Structure 1
Amino acid sequence: MSVAFAKEESAEAASETVLPPRPIPDRINLVTEAGLRMLQEELARAQEALKAAGQLEDVNERRRQSAVPVRDTRYYAERVRTAQLVPAPTSNAVVAFGHSVTFRRDDDRIQTFRIVGDDEANPSQASISHGSPVAIALMGKAVGEFVPFGQSELEVLAIS
């Protein structure tokens, strides 16, 4: 095909289709079995989207459609590569990664969260990252313990 008929974006416009990388937490990448499966599924989904975008004939549209899958493939490939699978806790004596912990705040609110990896954490679904301030405060504590937390304290009510 003649160059005269090829529509090519400027370098500036092409660079707009390159997204900045997704930030990767600097702490250890602990994962539950479900968390590892989720990472692997997201990686496969991103790779499929990248493959589909690669099939597009228009180079400019291919760039646009590839931007998110390229970024996500890099992110999930790194997260799968660095994942450290933590087996489910075998004891409920103290709060550990993978546990659900119920605690009371100073204002008498009772909350329950499962402590999971960064990518699996979703507070609206009752899971928090092992690197969150609440999880850090609760790790290693037993039922009945009071845990200093900022200007208040948390009371561990149950571990499962």
Structure 2
Amino acid sequence: MSRAFVKEDGPDNEPLPDLPISPHPNLVTPRGLADLRRRLAEAQATLQALRAREDRLDRLPEAAAERDIRYLEARIASAIPVDPAAAPADEVAFGHRVTVEDEEGIETTWQITGEDEASAADHRIAPHSPLGRALIGARAGDEVVWTRPAGQVTLLVKRIACPD
């Protein structure tokens, strides 16, 4: 195919819009900061591999990798590392693991982490999430009210632990 028929300017060659950056302070645990750095290195390696492709007509994967790199660099630059061990162990704080018991007697352990490492599936929550806000500052034996879209749940704080 002649290069005369290839469109050089167009939406495929424009940078993708940046990913939204949270307005909240970017608190990170040591694991969270290490994960951001690992993800940045992976995104940079991906971009390098994409740029080394012989056939580079589709620039969208490169634009996505560049966008991800911009996001990760911004998150690392704004990171506020917090050592969970520096907070009092008798009160729920950023980085702590908290075991709670719900109204049916089911115990669940949550860790309060930075936004970028928060994962409900892994029981890690951000401090400004509804559950995080309910738990921060609580002590073992306290009852807290977790306001969810499905209604309020009362939780009993059973244990507070600093991660390893």
Q: TM-score normalized by structure 1?
A: 0.85
What letter corresponds to residue 63 of structure 2 in structure 1?
Answer: A
- Give % identity: 35
What letter corresponds to residue 154 of structure 1 in structure 2?
Answer: L
Q: Structure 2: any 5+ residue segments left out of the alignment?
A: none
Instruction: Tell me, yes or no, if the aligned pair for 2:95 and 2:112 is still in contact at 8 Å.
Output: yes
How far, CA to CA, are the matches of 2:142 and 2:65 in structure 1?
A: 46
Matched, 1:93 2:90: yes
Which residue in 2 is equivalent to 1:82? 78
Which residue in 2 is equivalent to 1:142? 139
Q: Deviations over 1:85-134 (max 9, x none)?
A: 00122432100011000111223332111111011111211211122111
Among residues 53, 56, 70, which one is paired with 1:56 in the alignment? Answer: 53
How many residue pairs get aligned? The number is 155
Alignment RMSD (CA, Å) = 2.0
Q: Deviations over 1:13-67 (max 9, x none)?
A: 525x743322222111000111001001111111111122222344423x13302
Question: SS where residue 134 of structure 2 aligns?
Answer: helix
Which residue in 2 is equivalent to 1:128? 125
Among residues 1, 12, 15, which one is paired with 1:14 in the alignment? Answer: 12
Q: Structure 1: any 5+ residue segments left out of the alignment?
A: none
What letter corresponds to residue 115 of structure 1 in structure 2?
Answer: I
Query: 124-133 or 69-78, which moves further after superposition?
Result: 124-133
How far, CA to CA, are the matches of 1:6 and 1:86 in structure 2?
A: 56
